[in-house]
Amino acid sequence: MLAFPHDFPLLFRKRRSLTRARAEQAGLAPVRIAMLGGPTTQELASWLELFLLDRGIKPVIYQSEYNKYFEDTVLDSSALVEFAPDLVYLHLTSVNLQVPNAANEEELEAAVRSRLDHFAAVWGAVWSALPCQIIMNTFETPALRPLGHLDASSFAGASHFVARLNRELVRAARINSRLLLHDAASLAATSGVAWHAPDRWYSYKIPTSPEADVVTGHSLASLIAAARGRSRKVLVLDLDNTMWGGVIGDDGPDKIVIGRETPRGEAYTAFQEYARRLKDRGVLLAVCSKNDDAMARRGFSHPDSVLRIGDFAAFVANWEPKHQNIEAIARQLNLGLDSFVFVDDNPAERHLVEAQLPMVAVPNVGDDVCRYPAIIDAARYFETISLSAEDAQRTALYAQNAEREALAQKFEDYDAYLASLGMVGEIDAFSPVYLDRITQLTNKTNQFNLTTRRYTKAEMEAVAADPEYITLYGRLTDVFGDNGLVSVVIGRRDDRTLHVDLWLMSCRVLKRGMEDAMLDALVLRARQAGVDRIVGYYIPTARNGMVAEHYSKLGFTQLTDDGPERTSWCLELAGEREYSPRNRHIRHANGGGGEKTGAGHT
């Protein structure tokens, strides 16, 4: 991954060669982006391409002519429709706004409403022709404020108008999941680079500095990557001089620097608070430290420690090389190494992990803890497009998994272990109450995902309402707690054949028999719909090799082998061949097909 923080001179010098090198990677996920600009977009598009390639995504970018976004959507969208984008990005900045000379609140509100109606017309034109997501910038504070500080409060103030307009954009995004905001206003205020570039505006109709375009391309790529399920999930933390000041093994747990009594202690406390906020929104925390395990754990019993042992999904403290320990943590959490970010004050440890595990993000945080939160935050590793109730419970869910693993070790027979879990599954057709979680899970699951198809919430709503589709979600609970909504299947009817467009499952419930229960329910629903055969597809990616034999294991017969493109599999339901339910350990909460039945029945 490209180093962070940005080395601007290197990026300006090497952009083309860096782009070429990353474009040659295997397993890039394609995405089609329509970039509709107020300003000229070519330069920004080139940075977006580089940063998306760096995240394993190969973009095909369509660009409107300068300031033709309205014409290309509302007046004649034929070229846009022909391009068929996966998402549309509206690149607008404050220079595209005409600031009203409002004399009172009514005139200001009328101007805000007029501008919002203008944007709503663009959104509506796109959505009437295409089922895609729209990303739109918030507007940065204008470069010039002729009214001085009064500009922020006067009805005629430019910054006042922009702030009001941004507030309305936020309202619009809250009520429409197809609209995502790229917070360019915050980016301009916090990036630390000179943002406005009037000379480039007059010469090229680019209102931002070259550095600002790099920052925008990087930030936008992180948002698009999040929408495509490519955000990081785990923050791995060193301890000594990273989470607290001092070396706990030498100084003792009572002497580590943490708390609010000294500037340095306050900085470590602030970093722990930042890490806890990440954990509270669903990022998993892990410890990887060269330390004695018992001594390392005592650091989190310090009365001023913000984080406690229970906040970590994995804790490894020993004297083994850190890259090996991070690999062990990945196995324990059942997550790919490309989900990990490693933070350590020691440059030698960072270099080792970076060299041995290039898929792990290793930001150059330096050795000043005051800068750690800002560097991690600006890198946008953990970008998300939505939050669900299950995000807040993620650490607890992994802790429950650790308990399950410990229990499994006590059983010689795996079936006996599964039976001891007392699993109950809720399997049913898509319900409005679960559509946010279904969409989120669909767009972030990469490993147990047969086709890696992504859907917007609007597309999910359309599928759920279409009688030609059979949809299933699966929830799973057991004696250790509620695993939440963990599996999604979408089947599309074509006469008497059901094509499985999507089948995915959270890796948290691997080897629990959930896929058997889902298949039983799918077969039942398919038979009720008059389906004679179910055809499933496996489309290989760099991340979903674990399910290459999924359909084979479930008793499907291979139909075609298109090599690296895909394989097709069939399960016949008609004729003499009888389908035998596969599920043996999950009791159905709802019968899996609308009937109350016990384990092993559909």
Query: For 544-601, how does the pLDDT look when each residue is reduced to its tens digit (9 = 90+)?
Result: 888 999 999 999 999 987 766 889 999 999 876 678 999 999 998 865 444 333 343 3
- How far lies 43's CA from each of 31, 60, 135, 205, 571, in Å? 19, 15, 18, 11, 50
SS (HEC) of 53-120 = HHCCEEEEEEECCCCCCCHHHHHCCHHHHHHCCCEEEEECCHHHCCCCCCCCHHHHHHHHHHHHHHHH
Two tokens at 585? 């350990």
pLDDT band at 404 (very low <50, low <70, confident <90, very high): confident
Two tokens at 132? 């895609």
**Residue 576: what pLDDT?**
64
How far is it, in rounded angstroms, from Cα 464 to Cα 364? 45
DSSP string, 215-230: HHHHHHHHHHHHHTT-
CA atoms within 13 A on the CB side of 589: 14
**Residue 592: what pLDDT?**
45
- How far lies 566's CA from each of 72, 537, 553, in Å? 35, 7, 17
Q: In what order do the strands lie in the sheet with 557-561?
A: 557-561, 567-572, 533-538, 497-505, 481-494, 469-478, 424-428, 587-588
SS3 237: strand
Instruction: Give the mean pLDDT of 30-40.
Output: 95
- How far lies 556's CA from each of 294, 405, 567, in Å? 50, 30, 12
Two tokens at 376? 């991690």
Mean pLDDT of the chain: 91
By the 8 A CB rule, do 331 and 294 touch? Answer: no
Instruction: Give the mean pLDDT of 380-395.
Output: 84
Residue with tokens 């493109």: 565
Question: Which residues are CB-contacts of 386 (< 8 A; sequence separation ≥ 6)?
Answer: 177, 436, 439, 440
pLDDT band at 31 (very low <50, low <70, confident <90, very high): very high
Q: In what order do the strands lie in the sheet with 57-63?
A: 57-63, 29-37, 87-91, 133-137, 179-182
Give the tens place of pLDDT for each residue, 354-383: 999 999 999 999 999 999 999 999 999 999
Two tokens at 380? 């946008």
How far is it, in rounded angstroms, from Cα 127 to Cα 108? 29
pLDDT band at 232 (very low <50, low <70, confident <90, very high): very high
The burial class, CB within 10 Å (0-12 / 13-18 / 19+), for 508 is buried
> Beta-strand (E) ranges in 420-530?
424-428, 469-478, 481-494, 497-505
More confident residue, 288 or 511: 288
Is the dihedral angle over the CA atoms 66, 72, 76, 81 positive or is it negative?
A: positive
- Identify the CA nearest to 59 among candidates 19, 5, 93: 19
* Phi and psi, residue 361, nearest 5°: -80, 125
Cis preceding-peptide flag for 100 (omega within 30 of 0)? no
- Does the pTM surpass 0.85? The reply is no
How far is it, in rounded angstroms, from Cα 85 to Cα 428? 32
Residue with tokens 């990557």: 225
**Residue 1: what pLDDT?**
58
The burial class, CB within 10 Å (0-12 / 13-18 / 19+), for 36 is buried
**Residue 472: what pLDDT?**
97
CA atoms within 13 A on the CB side of 161: 28
SS (HEC) of 332-383 = HHCCCHHHEEEECCCHHHHHHHHHHCCCCECCCCCCCHHHHHHHHHHHCCCC
**Residue 597: what pLDDT?**
35
Give the tens place of pLDDT for each residue, 66-84: 999 999 999 999 999 999 9
| Whether the predicted pLDDT of 602 surpasses 60 | no
By the 8 A CB rule, do 273 and 330 touch? Answer: no
- Identify the CA nearest to 27 among candidates 549, 541, 559, 547: 541
